[in-house]
Amino acid sequence: MIKFWQFLFLILFLGGLFWLIFINKEEMNNITDMLKDSKNENNLSIRKAFVSGQFYSSNKNELFKMINNFLEKAELPEMTDQIKGLIVPHAGYDFSGQTAAYAFKLIQKKDIERVILIGSSHQEYLEGAIMDGNDIWKTPLGQVNLDTDLRDKLIEESSLFKVDLISHMKEHSLEVEIPFLEVVLNDFKILPILIGHKSSEEELNEISDVLSKYIDKKTLVIASSDMSHYPDYENANYADKKVLEAILTGNVSILKKTIEEIENENISNLNVCLCAQKAVELFMKLMDKINADNIKLLNYANSGDLDIGDKLRVVGYSSFAFSEKLWDFNFSESQKQKLLEITKTSVEKYVLENKLAEFNIEDELLSKKLGAFVTLKKNNQLRGCIGLFESNLSLYKVVSQMAVAAAVKDNRFSPVEKDELEDLEYEISVLSPLRKINSWEEIEIGKHGVQIQRGNQSGVFLPQVATENNWDLEEFMNNLCEHKAGLEKDCWKKEETDIYIFTVEIIK
């Protein structure tokens, strides 16, 4: 006589066998059929849109009109930066489309030939960097080719890069970005990559190292991620604000620490702070490697802000732009010599004749409105240094005026005398705009100049001050606070002190 537990085991076994033979077989057959049907006349494999009609309209005209409406409503200040990367959301267009539009509008009609899309799978746990194996992605708006050449190169460079058709087949997070790209760009290729949820720091470093070799002026990188999932409206705004601020630092360690701290607060119904965290971490590492360290939050909203949203259970959305400042030019040798000539002539004209030199420069780069410091040295010792961070004057005029100011108006020194002129050395530091930071931990010694400000007191050091004096961060900041800003030497560690960083192009 069969015992009850034996009977139960038999039922479970037969049920499992039925699933394997029929249900799972049917699922595999569906996948196989999809792959068979996804070849064109040139035998190129095509990934068909999986969430068309769900996350966005399957009607070409409706989709085109919807995206353009989003773009028209996105009001952005004029930006002249070289956009290198975007972070955009990936929910249904009714929820996150407007937020995404702020980012995509920045690249409208830009000369971009390749877009690397980075996301995390919502379907399965993956390992490494999984690239789609198709040749084409299809949407209601048309077809987009994959950059198969780059895909092949990445496979050769690192075993972490792998190709898979199935992992991308039903994943929506990268697909929803394609229609936006089709509207704002002309002729471009894509490379979709899904990053493993448990990717280690070492793996992310290796992947970003390899990818960074292929980020040129016509390549854009996009990270696709939503923010907080399912807390109420108030808690979503609270958690998302902290994560937004962490992303703005550009520091992956700060982002990870911030998310860990939020998770430890056990906020009710907070399922996740950043649904594609590993993808965003990789993206930020990559942006750092290509010097796209100018970060702007373009828009934030959550589903509770919408008429169709529920404030008791919301999802957060954000869009960011990571750019490389166009001030970071490669000055030609002739341009450098021209600026040095202007510096020297300006000082000598004023010291010898008490007159300001005049110049008529038509060079486009030297006529740009950029800030600069001019440093004078005598026998390798500082003899004067004055500059401007921002000016409505052309660079060559700023250099001329600051040269004279460094020679005769630096209160730390007496005015330069005639018999000193032949012993002077000239150095020009062309400046990036100031960027306020949230933590002194973002300062990189030797790369960043720093301005400290509290109330009416302020002080600034150029980045070369640290290297010339062989100072570490502590010495650099202590001296800046105490000797330049006239504040207590540890003021840089206090919340009431504002810290700004900048970088320079040195000509000497």
Lowest model confidence (mean pLDDT) among 72-81, 265-274, 292-301, 437-446? 72-81
Q: What is the β-pairing status of strands 142-145 and 82-88?
A: unpaired
Residues 441 and 359 placed together within one structural domain of the fold: no
Residues 224 and 110 placed together within one structural domain of the fold: yes
- The single-letter DSSP state of residue 141 is T
pLDDT tens profile 161-172 = 999 989 999 999
Residues 363 and 293 placed together within one structural domain of the fold: no
> Residues 451, 500: contact at Cβ < 8 Å?
yes
Q: Residue 109: inside a domain, yes or no?
A: yes
Instruction: Output the CA–CA distances (angstroms, integers) from residue 141 to 58, 118, 364, 384, 467, in the order listed.
Output: 9, 21, 40, 61, 54
Among 431, 464, 490, give the residue marking a domain's end: 431
| pLDDT-based confidence at residue 410 (cuts at 50, 70, 90) | very high
Residues 183 and 78 placed together within one structural domain of the fold: yes
pTM beyond 0.75, yes or no: no
Residues 407 and 470 placed together within one structural domain of the fold: no
Query: Any idea which residue has 């409706």 for tokens?
Result: 62
Among 410, 431, 452, give the residue marking a domain's end: 431
Residues 215 and 268 placed together within one structural domain of the fold: yes
Domain of 382, CATH number, reads: 3.30.700.20
Q: Residue 141: inside a domain, yes or no?
A: yes
Domain of residue 127 covers 33-324
Residues 411 and 355 placed together within one structural domain of the fold: yes
Structure tokens at 309: 């949203």
Residues 145 and 218 placed together within one structural domain of the fold: yes
Domain of 471, CATH number, reads: 3.30.1490.150
Q: Residue 16: inside a domain, yes or no?
A: no
Domain of 88, CATH number, reads: 3.40.830.10
Dist. CA 58–CA 48, nearest whole Å: 12
What is the number of residues in the chain? Answer: 508
Among 303, 324, 345, give the residue marking a domain's end: 324
Kindly state the average pLDDT of the residues 288-315. Answer: 89
pLDDT tens profile 232-257 = 999 999 999 999 999 999 999 999 99
Dist. CA 135–CA 44, nearest whole Å: 6
pLDDT tens profile 100-135 = 999 999 999 888 999 999 999 887 888 899 999 999
Q: Residue 22: inside a domain, yes or no?
A: no
Q: List the one residue out of 208, 321, 229, 222 whose CA is nearest residue 275.
A: 229
